[in-house]
């Protein structure tokens, strides 16, 4: 078995989910090598945990959704929720041979499935120890515009990095966000103001997502005013979007355009909460510099933030509820046009680099100086 598989499995079962003796863990394997699933099973057992495995395939999932029966996924959600309620932890490793596999499926069917499965997702996010990551495939290498070998080297380097180096800086940013009222985001075609007072903040350093490197909060639901243009491309529900531009009044998205504007607005009209923001996060992973249309990587890009229409997390909650949670990313490094983040009229980050002394430990020159 490849050493990289064993090293990654130990990170996921040890550091990320911190499995204990007797705990049940569901390993959700989407189009990944059999050897990686076995590595996860063995790593879980080495810690005394009890592994359960679910094997998934994107082509089969597409077929099931494409021929949707009205009550099919309500039935499936019933037993998936019952299974999830028996679990203490959840590890999902998601490969993708074709990121556009669902692109020709009726959006109404995709929306129906997401709504049916929402209780399963909510339980997993709020009641289990969980971690999710992608698996390196030739399709992902193409997205990153790298050779397969180079991308695999990058993947294992970033996914097994020493996240403990982020702890001090993340704690300082978490404390600062938890005590901030007004946020002002500035950049090209971006002038956005909102409050995060009383919401709290959560530092993420390899516990829920791999790769990781962000601190998130959430706007007070009705406080968002202004406009934003996202300069990182995004994939949502199997559809590609570029240069999304949103305008807000009293917290609500009142105008949305960009490439594929019709589909963009259909998603934002999925339910009432989809036009409100459920997350604001500042990212700083030093190894991830360019977007690759994979949100688990793109939302951690050094010098970026994401501002997310849809469902809020219970850990930093503004009460917004939606079947949508769409992380949209703006990169503020100079080569992407620059930008500023202000907290209560104090400059926090400029052109992707933190300027407050206690936050400079999150800048790439510190995190890469091992």
Tell me the C-alpha distance between 62 and 172, whole Å.
44
**In degrees to the nearest 10, what's the CA dihedral of 41, 11, 238, 281?**
150
Q: Which domain holds residue 359?
A: 163-367
Q: What is the predicted pLDDT for the residue at 265?
A: 97
| Token couple for 331 | 């990169």
- Residue that finishes a domain, picked among 104, 127, 159: 159
Q: Are residues 218 and 151 in the same domain?
A: no
Whole-prediction pTM: 0.77
Q: Are residues 137 and 151 in the same domain?
A: yes
Q: How many separate domains does the chain show?
A: 2
Question: Which stretches of the chain drop beneath a pLDDT of 70?
Answer: 1, 370
Paired with 329 in beta bridges are 306
Q: Are residues 168 and 211 in the same domain?
A: yes
Contacting residues for 255 by C-beta, under 8 A, at least 6 apart:
245, 246, 247
In angstroms, the Cα distances linking 20 to 86, 125, 127, 301, 306 are: 15, 19, 16, 32, 33
Answer whether 293's CB lies under 8 Å from 235's CB: yes
Q: Are residues 79 and 143 in the same domain?
A: yes
Q: Are residues 243 and 191 in the same domain?
A: yes
| Mutual angle of helices 3-10 and 34-46, in 10-degree steps | 50
Q: Are residues 177 and 57 in the same domain?
A: no
**H, E, C per residue of the chain:** CCHHHHHHHHHHHHHHCCCCCCCEEEEEEECCCHHHHHHHHHHHHHCCCEEEEEEECHHHHHHHHHCCCCCHHHHHHHHHHHHHCCCCEEEEEECCCCCCCCCCCCHHHHHHHHHHCHHHHHHHHHHCEEEEEECCCHHHHHHCCCCHHHHHHHHHHHHCCCHHHHHHHHHHHHHHHHCCCEEEEEECCEEEEEECCCCCCEEECCCCEECCCEEEECCCCCCCEEEEECCCCEEECCEEECCCEEEEECCEEEEEECCCHHHHHHHHCCCHHHHCEEEEEEECECCCCCCCCCHHHHCCECCEEEEEEECCCHHHCCCCCCCCECCCEEECCHHHCCCEEEECCEEEEECCEECCHHHHHHCHHHHCCC
| Whether residue 252 has a cis bond before it, omega within 30° of 0 | no
Answer whether 134's CB lies under 8 Å from 96's CB: yes
Q: Are residues 143 and 167 in the same domain?
A: no
Q: Are residues 170 and 259 in the same domain?
A: yes
- Residue that finishes a domain, picked among 119, 140, 159: 159
Q: Are residues 194 and 122 in the same domain?
A: no
Q: Are residues 122 and 180 in the same domain?
A: no
Q: What is the predicted pLDDT for the residue at 123?
A: 92
| Token couple for 49 | 């945990």
Convert the pLDDT of each residue in 155-198 to its tens digit: 888 888 888 889 999 999 999 999 999 999 999 999 999 999 99
Q: Are residues 249 and 114 in the same domain?
A: no
Q: Are residues 140 and 181 in the same domain?
A: no
Indicate left, alpha or beta for 84 from its phi (over 0: left) and psi (-120 to 50: alpha): alpha
Paired with 55 in beta bridges are 29
CATH number assigned to the domain comprising residue 62:
3.40.1830.10
- Residue that finishes a domain, picked among 159, 185, 208: 159
């Amino acid at each position: 078995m490849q050493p990289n598989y064993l090293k990654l499995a130990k990170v996921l079962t040890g550091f990320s989910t911190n499995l204990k003796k007797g705990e049940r863990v569901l390993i959700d394997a989407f189009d990944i090598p059999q050897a990686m699933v076995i590595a996860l099973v063995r790593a879980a057992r080495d810690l005394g945990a009890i592994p359960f495995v679910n094997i998934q395939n994107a082509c089969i999932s597409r077929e099931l959704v494409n021929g949707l029966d009205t009550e099919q996924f309500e039935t499936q959600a019933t037993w998936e929720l019952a299974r999830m309620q028996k679990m203490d932890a959840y590890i999902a490793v998601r490969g993708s041979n074709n990121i556009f596999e669902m692109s020709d499926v009726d959006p109404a069917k995709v929306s129906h499935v997401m709504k049916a499965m929402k209780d399963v997702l909510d339980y997993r996010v709020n009641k289990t120890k969980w971690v999710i990551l992608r698996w390196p495939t030739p399709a992902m290498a193409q997205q990153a515009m790298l050779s397969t070998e180079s991308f695999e080297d990058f993947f294992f380097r970033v996914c097994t990095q020493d996240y403990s180096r982020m702890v001090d800086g993340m704690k300082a940013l978490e404390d600062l966000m938890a005590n901030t009222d007004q946020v002002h985001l500035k950049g090209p075609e971006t002038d956005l103001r909102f409050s995060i007072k009383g919401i709290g903040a959560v530092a993420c350093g390899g516990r829920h997502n791999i790769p990781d490197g962000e601190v998130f909060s959430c706007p007070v639901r009705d406080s968002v005013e202004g406009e934003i243009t996202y300069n990182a491309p995004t994939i949502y529900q199997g559809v590609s979007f570029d240069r999304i531009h949103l305008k807000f009044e009293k917290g609500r998205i009142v105008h949305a355009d960009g490439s594929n504007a019709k589909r963009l607005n259909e998603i934002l009209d999925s339910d009432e909460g989809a036009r409100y923001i459920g997350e604001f996060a500042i990212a700083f992973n030093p190894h991830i510099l360019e977007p690759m249309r994979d949100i688990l990587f793109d939302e951690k890009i050094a010098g970026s933030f994401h501002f997310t229409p849809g469902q809020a997390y219970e850990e930093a909650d503004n009460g917004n509820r939606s079947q949508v949670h769409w992380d949209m990313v703006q990169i503020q490094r100079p080569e992407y046009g620059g930008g500023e983040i202000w907290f209560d009229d104090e400059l926090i980050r400029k052109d992707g680099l933190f300027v407050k002394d206690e936050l400079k430990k999150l800048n790439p020159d510190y995190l890469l100086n091992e």
